[in-house]
Structure 1
Amino acid sequence: MDNNRVIIFDTTLRDGEQSPGASMNLEEKVKIALVLEEMGVDVIEAGFPIASNGDFEAVNAVARRVKTATIAGLARATKGDIERCHQAVRDAPRHRIHTFLSTSPLHMKYKLQMEPEAVLQKVKDSVSFARTLVDDVEWSAEDGSRTEHDFLCRCVEAAIDAGARTINIPDTVGYAVPDEYAALIAMLVNRVPNIDKAILSVHCHNDLGLAVANSLAAVAAGARQIECTVNGLGERAGNAAMEEIVMSLRTRPDRMPFTTGIKTEQITRASRLVSAVTGFVVQPNKAIVGKNAFAHESGIHQDGVLKCAQTYEIMTPESVGLTRSNLVMGKHSGRAAFRDKLKHLGYDLADSAVEDAFVRFKDLADRKKDIFDEDIVALIDEAVYRENDRIRFHGLEVLCGTRHNPPKAELDLEIDGVVRNVKATGDGPVDATFNAIKALVPHEARLLLYQVHAVTQGTDAQAEVTVRLEEDGKTVNGQGADTDTMVASARAYVNALNKLLVKRQKTAPAALTA
């Protein structure tokens, strides 16, 4: 392996899915995995197979579909977890067991309730057992950045002796700062005698906004694998954002002479897909993939960019797959133009999905004069990535305003293939609509967030609604888009309920890793 080559380990499907509100079904995980494979991700951590039968099946489905990337599954340091992980990933041409154990004094005392020597022995036993099942074993020292150096060195040396090919040092709680984290990696390189037999990896969380900076500092100190997620998705404040890491290395080879195998032109496509599947909207000022990342409103900036793009752009929009098409879309546009637009936007859909989306597009074009790229993105997200939902929106009529008190809503939903109708009232049109949904789909989930924003400008703009529901400690986000805000609201609530059904089937085990 080229010593300057950095392995990209993407954990969007595992750590990313642990984000409160994010959930992915089997088909969605496979779609994301195939996009990650196509863009050149080296290792895809597909999930936590022991968590549930659904997660096991999803990891196994990814393992059977992906051909070039290594498929990893996560396992705690127990025989049952490791065996289940092996069963899930073994169908992949390249597969890995990723097992972990806490090593910091805080975690050992309060979480594991184990003495250091017992932890060290468990490291040896778990890695040795995993090594009997697969050649490629990764071991992680959970809360590694807060682990005593002497003990961390002993654990790392023992894991390598037991057969681990990759050693991951997570900054599990996002506590480290770049120079400190780099010094930790350098210390392991200098003190662990068998460190040359393994690849050092890092997994940084963004609690202090330093996940990417810490990851890059670690690479400069000797790490050669970075664990990251698309859009920085992950628990709490998220993980190191894959797109930021990759573009930092590509943009600043003068200071960081390292390479990856990522086809950066597919970054925007991956970002949009993950956002659509999880319902997590990318903030406008997000680096690399945010809506404003390549926008210039200041007159001085606009003047500079027009004269020479490099005055204010350190990378091109095209380098991350952001292209602008001059193709104007409207109600007279045909399938060929629509398919070409989808290609420009980074979508590669099956014929049936294109046809479904085209029908929705024509309906939108009848109601909206100007169709912007953002409209089509919202339409695709709404129409395509929900094909396996058990609950489907069919129709809504709302009566509200000063002449209708209380507001009334009549709703049609398809539930497990059967269309049902109900009428309900509420304190307002949104309340009436949501009460109608509750009447057809009884549940105890609480509404934590209701948010509306316009996809584009104009009074005929599509409204994109985000709904967050909570049930028994599980939170989900739902999204819906339509030129009618009430219809968008209903779609968002139904989307959230479908995700809640998926969440109910997943009961993640305790002691999740970084």
Structure 2
Amino acid sequence: MMNIPKGKYRPYPKIELPDRKWPDNTITKAPIWCSVDLRDGNQALINPMDMNKKLELFALLLKLGFKEIEVGFPSASKIEFDFLRKLVDDNLIPDDVTIQVLVQAREHLIAKTFEALEGVKKATVHLYNSTSIAQRKIVFGKSQEEIIELALEGVDLVKKYEANHNGEIFLEYSPESFTGTELDFAARISNKVTARWGINKNRKVIINLPATVEMATPNIYADQIEWMSRHLDNRENVIISTHTHNDRGTSIAATELALLAGADRVEGTLLSNGERTGNVDIITIALNMTSQGIDTGLDFSNINEVVKVVETCTELPTHPRHPYVGELVYTAFSGSHQDAINKGLAYQQSKEDPFWEVPYLPIDPADVGRTYESIIRINSQSGKGGVAYILEHNYGYQLPKAMHPEIGRAVQTLSDEKGRELEPDEILEVFKNTYFNIEEHISFIDFTLSSDNGTSTCTLTYKYDDSVITSQGEGNGPIDACKNALMKKYKNDFSIKSYSEHSCGDKSTAKAVAYIEIQSKEILSCFGVGADNDITIASIKAMFCALNRAFKPNS
């Protein structure tokens, strides 16, 4: 960007707040949540929502637990007016929910707004006018005093129509483009508004301080919130609200730091829908709090449903890496990540303490209605732990750890060939082709076994070099006896390095699965797998599998 003229952009000025307190604070409780999906979110859509979509999204917001919902700008368009009337006429607003409407400081707009509000029991009238230096200079050509007078005219008009409204009316005032406004002016106009409204403990006012345009790092916004908190009159009766946009990509951090700095309320949308780069995502903020043990009062236990409804209503896709909700956020491709997750899940299940301690997963996917089946997926970057996880959790094969590299290499070879992620059934196919569907130079046929005084005697029948051979051997167990019987005719010397077994499947149909690792002078390690209703036969099959893999003809 060498062609940008010097001085075109300037650093945001530092906030003089040497005794700032917010860096030492901790978020300990959830804020008041206000969804603005139906207004801010809707106005940012290529295809604004129709009545049915608005109703569907409103129902979702109620289900999630929102108690404050901005439903629109009823004086600005017929559909927004009709939507609010639909909510009222069909008695769709619960008694414990406050709806919010947006309006500018003009009498005909405020009159129309109160017409739409007729019959609403609790409503917040959100009055705003832009206060920033740039807006005053470029858009309105007005002085600070003229901007204050405009805001106060709006307050007077709301009070005028409030007097004839049969229900509770709350005032919210936004010095719009707050982040581009001088702090002393933002405080002055806000204090003028609250004084004109008649603020007291029974008549609190929401002062919304929007990052209409995100202009600096999140710590600057936190400084602004703390500065305002110190300079607002009747602070105990003021509800400081945030409304952050994502122009710099840091709306989440800005909102969280603002809460440290004293903000009481958060306006935002689901999945960050909003003008330009979007509003702050309430899902992410809330689940960030959940991960810290804070009860948010919002229910995101079925996040797939939330995503489906929002995508349907907004016609906007969700990025697969979107925090907490994206298709891939509980997925690990890296081998080391897969191994750590696998171990973490096993550890979590083995302990009584519910504290969540699974590496790479900040929350339990089950808490948001996601399942573990999709956590680990396999591609050419994946490792042995991920393959073992898929085989165990999808198909019941509990591979010994020493076997993981061997099957991992086989799966990675196929993934390299296909140049894509492998599905679980493809991984199972690799496993079966590697250990069950193999070319045999020696084949197990039958055996009998007897035991006397701790010594096992095996009579083994097998096919080798196109001949059927029966031989007998003794040992300290069935596998040792079978090996000794085999070695009377078999030319490849080997030893058994490790052995493990487990049952696989439901109790009524379970099979025994055995894993045997062999070694020889030429081969350090080679595994075989066998499965049968009888554990001894499964073990013998595993040994023959290992031999066929290790000593292939002409190898």
**TM-score normalised to structure 1 length:** 0.59
Which residue pairs with 1:137 in the alignment? 171
Mapped pair 1:65 → 2:92: yes
State the secondary structure of the residue aligned to 2:246. coil
| Cα gap change, 1:312 to 1:277, in 2 (>3 Å) | same
TM-superposed deviation, 1:199: 0.3
Q: Which of these residues, 170, 194, 208, is aligned with residue 168 of structure 1?
A: 208
Mapped pair 1:52 → 2:80: no
TM-superposed deviation, 1:324: 6.9
C-alpha contact 1:265 1:320 (8 A) present in aligned 2: yes
Mapped pair 1:220 → 2:260: yes
| Cα gap change, 1:138 to 1:273, in 2 (>3 Å) | same
Letter of the aligned partner of 2:195 in structure 1?
A: D
State the secondary structure of the residue aligned to 2:169. coil
Q: Residues of 2 paired with 1:308 and 1:3: CA distance?
A: 27
TM-superposed deviation, 1:20: 4.1
Which residue pairs with 1:151 in the alignment? 185
Q: Residues of 1 paired with 2:120 and 2:303: CA distance?
A: 24
Q: Residues of 2 paired with 1:75 and 1:8: CA distance?
A: 20
For residues 424-446 of structure 1, the C-alpha deviation after alignment (integer angstroms, 9 at most, x for no partner) is: xxxxxxxxxxxxxxxxxxxxxxx
- Structure 1 residues 198-347: aligned runs within 5 Å: 198-252=238-292, 259-309=295-345, 310-323=358-371
Q: Residues of 1 paired with 2:54 and 2:339: CA distance?
A: 43
Letter of the aligned partner of 2:150 in structure 1?
A: K
C-alpha contact 2:45 2:314 (8 A) present in aligned 1: no
Which residue pairs with 2:147 in the alignment? 119
Q: Which moved more, 1:232-241 or 1:131-140?
A: 131-140
C-alpha contact 2:29 2:295 (8 A) present in aligned 1: yes
Over the matched positions of the two proteins, sequence identity in percent amounts to 28
Letter of the aligned partner of 1:130 in structure 2?
A: V
For residues 104-128 of structure 1, the C-alpha deviation after alignment (integer angstroms, 9 at most, x for no partner) is: 1111122222221011122122123
C-alpha contact 1:39 1:263 (8 A) present in aligned 2: yes
TM-superposed deviation, 1:301: 1.4
State the secondary structure of the residue aligned to 1:264. coil
Mapped pair 1:82 → 2:110: yes
Letter of the aligned partner of 1:282 in structure 2?
A: T
TM-superposed deviation, 1:252: 2.7
State the secondary structure of the residue aligned to 1:49. coil
Q: Residues of 1 paired with 2:289 and 2:118: CA distance?
A: 32
C-alpha contact 2:104 2:128 (8 A) present in aligned 1: yes
C-alpha contact 2:214 2:244 (8 A) present in aligned 1: yes
> How many residues align structurally?
322
Which residue pairs with 1:183 in the alignment? 223
Letter of the aligned partner of 1:152 in structure 2?
A: A
C-alpha contact 1:17 1:23 (8 A) present in aligned 2: yes
Q: Residues of 1 paired with 2:82 and 2:32: CA distance?
A: 26
Which residue pairs with 1:7 in the alignment? 32
Which residue pairs with 1:437 in the alignment? none
C-alpha contact 1:71 1:96 (8 A) present in aligned 2: yes
Q: Which of these residues, 21, 33, 37, is aligned with residue 58 of structure 2?
A: 33
Q: Residues of 2 paired with 1:72 and 1:207: CA distance?
A: 25
For residues 259-281 of structure 1, the C-alpha deviation after alignment (integer angstroms, 9 at most, x for no partner) is: 53211214442222011121100
Q: Residues of 2 paired with 1:221 and 1:248: CA distance?
A: 17
Higher relative contact order (CA 8 A, sep 6+): 1
TM-superposed deviation, 1:146: 1.2
TM-superposed deviation, 1:288: 1.3
Which residue pairs with 2:126 in the alignment? 98
TM-superposed deviation, 1:129: 2.3
State the secondary structure of the residue aligned to 2:34. strand
TM-superposed deviation, 1:62: 3.4
Q: Residues of 2 paired with 1:62 and 1:205: CA distance?
A: 28
TM-superposed deviation, 1:188: 1.0
TM-superposed deviation, 1:313: 0.4
Q: Residues of 1 paired with 2:195 and 2:334: CA distance?
A: 58
C-alpha contact 1:179 1:217 (8 A) present in aligned 2: yes
State the secondary structure of the residue aligned to 1:55. helix
TM-superposed deviation, 1:226: 0.6
Q: Residues of 1 paired with 2:215 and 2:106: CA distance?
A: 27
RMSD of the TM alignment (CA)? 2.2
For residues 388-428 of structure 1, the C-alpha deviation after alignment (integer angstroms, 9 at most, x for no partner) is: xxxxxxxxxxxxxxxxxxxxxxxxxxxxxxxxxxxxxxxxx
Q: Which moved more, 1:220-229 or 1:308-317?
A: 308-317
| Cα gap change, 1:211 to 1:275, in 2 (>3 Å) | same
**TM-score normalised to structure 2 length:** 0.55
For residues 275-309 of structure 1, the C-alpha deviation after alignment (integer angstroms, 9 at most, x for no partner) is: 11211000111111111111112222122112214
Q: Residues of 1 paired with 2:82 and 2:153: CA distance?
A: 27
Q: Residues of 2 paired with 1:135 and 1:153: CA distance?
A: 23
TM-superposed deviation, 1:99: 1.1
C-alpha contact 1:59 1:73 (8 A) present in aligned 2: no
State the secondary structure of the residue aligned to 1:15. helix
For residues 27-55 of structure 1, the C-alpha deviation after alignment (integer angstroms, 9 at most, x for no partner) is: 21111111111111121111111221112
TM-superposed deviation, 1:4: 3.9
* Structure 1 residue runs without a partner (length 5+): 327-371, 373-514
| Cα gap change, 1:22 to 1:224, in 2 (>3 Å) | farther
For residues 288-337 of structure 1, the C-alpha deviation after alignment (integer angstroms, 9 at most, x for no partner) is: 111111111222212211221411101012222335799xxxxxxxxxxx
Which residue pairs with 1:17 in the alignment? 42
Letter of the aligned partner of 2:38 in structure 1?
A: L
For residues 446-500 of structure 1, the C-alpha deviation after alignment (integer angstroms, 9 at most, x for no partner) is: xxxxxxxxxxxxxxxxxxxxxxxxxxxxxxxxxxxxxxxxxxxxxxxxxxxxxxx
State the secondary structure of the residue aligned to 2:216. coil
C-alpha contact 1:200 1:224 (8 A) present in aligned 2: yes
C-alpha contact 2:39 2:72 (8 A) present in aligned 1: yes
The structure that has the greater radius of gyration is 2
Q: Residues of 2 paired with 1:165 and 1:321: CA distance?
A: 37
Which residue pairs with 2:4 in the alignment? none
| Cα gap change, 1:248 to 1:89, in 2 (>3 Å) | farther
| Cα gap change, 1:266 to 1:88, in 2 (>3 Å) | farther
